[in-house]
Amino acid sequence: MAARTAARTVGVPRATLGRVTIPEHLRSPEPVDPARPQAPEDGHGTPGGPGARIAALADDLRDELVTIRRDIHAHPEVSRAEVRTTALLSDRLRAAGLEPRPLPGTGLVCDLGPQSAGGRIALRADIDALPLQDRCDLPFASTTPGVAHACGHDVHATAVLGAGLVLATLDAVGELHRPVRLIFQPAEEVQPGGALDVIAAGGLDGVSEIYALHCDPKVDVGQVGTRIGPITSASDEVSVTVSSSGGHTSRPHLTGDVVYALGQVITQVPAVLGRRLDPRSGVNLTWGAVHAGSAHNAIPSTGTVRGTLRCLDVRAWEFAGQVLHDAVEQVVAPYEVEVTVHHTRGVPPVENDEAGTAALEQAAREMLGPQSVLLTEQSLGGEDFAWYLTKVPGAMARLGTRTPGGRSYDIHQGDLRVDERAIDAGVRLLARVATR
């Protein structure tokens, strides 16, 4: 047992991390920031209690975790290609004496804590990046052209890793009293997402509740946003292809005008959905790409428009697809074109459980301070954490990443910057949820 305890110490040299070597320019300076993340005095937990122990262990890990986050940020990998990221996380967990298990393809899970205790609690992080150019202009900006961590998954992964290292230390000295599973999930940014792969691989077997965080650059660091019930929306991919024989722009009456028909789809179909579905369901169809033709004087033979269909309400989501198909066919009917609609069901809304939300709020108030919890709005964004919550109860909170008084960035933009003190806040919050 003594050897096991020694293997779980958190003081692994910052620059090694197993097989993955951290370049010198990515290593976190001492200190990380002149304004070190300081929880309020009553945010460290009861003296001698689990909150105080977690706070002390998180302090020890803070700079190392910033270094790891910067390394992940500098080496982003798109969905289902997160090979290096998986190796980095696995190596650090093994260095702490844990036994991570690879998921099929990429990603991993790691169990810790007493195996004979009650239901297992899961902490989930997504690890994939986006196919966007990094424009953050930082020393640790992406080194992979056209790929960037523009949604904060580098922060999510590092926070869950840090929570796992804290919990491993507690377990080694007999202070972790329930089993925990860390889930580092690939492919959140695509549909169908990696959550379904994790579930199919048995990632929820034995799990009784699950928790996650998502970066929110509109919320100050040290605060979290919570909400009972839906916190995100259903999100589907939509593609409409219109085709005809094509022709000359001087004779549109002799062919099906693909461009004109596409224009009607773009403008009219969202309006039809707004009249066919209950407006309280928050249905939103927004187009993101349109392609047709290459010459100014030729009517092309095919054209495509692609976008997302989002719903705040899961009941409207269940039949919105049929309304969409009917609307497209009716809108293009007068123009003598053929139409194909591809509607890919994505994710349902993330439905936060009441008890799970209360657990996150209690942990946040203890570890981050009594004023750290904010009521957040339901967004139209999609998040495949929703699939886990169709199997077991739990909740997701929004993790503040904005420097107080600083600029509000947006996710899915290449210039996203986060206040790295959010990592420490996430570690404390998740570790306390798992030890309550």
CATH 3.30.70.360 spans which residues of the chain? 234-346
Give the model's pLDDT for residue 87.
98
Record the tokens describing residue 78, joined without a space: 């798109």
d(CA 133, CA 415): 9
**CATH dotted code for 2-232+349-434:** 3.40.630.10
Cα–chain center distance at 420: 17
Q: Where in the chain is the domain with CATH 3.40.630.10?
A: 2-232+349-434
Q: How many CB atoms lie within 10 A of CB 16?
A: 13
Q: How far apart are CA 366 and CA 431, in angstroms?
A: 12
Rounded to whole angstroms, the Cα distance separating 65 from 90 reads 14
pLDDT of residue 247: 96
74: which 2 tokens? 């500098």
Query: What is the H or E stretch that residue 398 is in?
Result: strand 394-402
Task: For 276-306, give the DSSP string.
Answer: HS-GGG--EEEEEEEEE-S-TTEE-SEEEEE
Mean pLDDT of residues grouped by 10 in the chain (436 residues)?
Answer: 36 40 50 41 59 97 98 98 98 98 98 87 98 97 98 98 98 95 97 95 97 98 97 95 97 96 98 93 95 97 97 90 96 97 94 97 98 96 96 98 96 97 98 96
Supply the pLDDT for residue 104.
97
Terminal Cα distance for the chain, rounded: 25
* pTM of the entire predicted model: 0.85
Residue 372 pLDDT:
98
Pick the CATH number of 234-346 from 3.90.850.10, 3.30.70.360, 3.40.50.2300, 3.40.47.10: 3.30.70.360
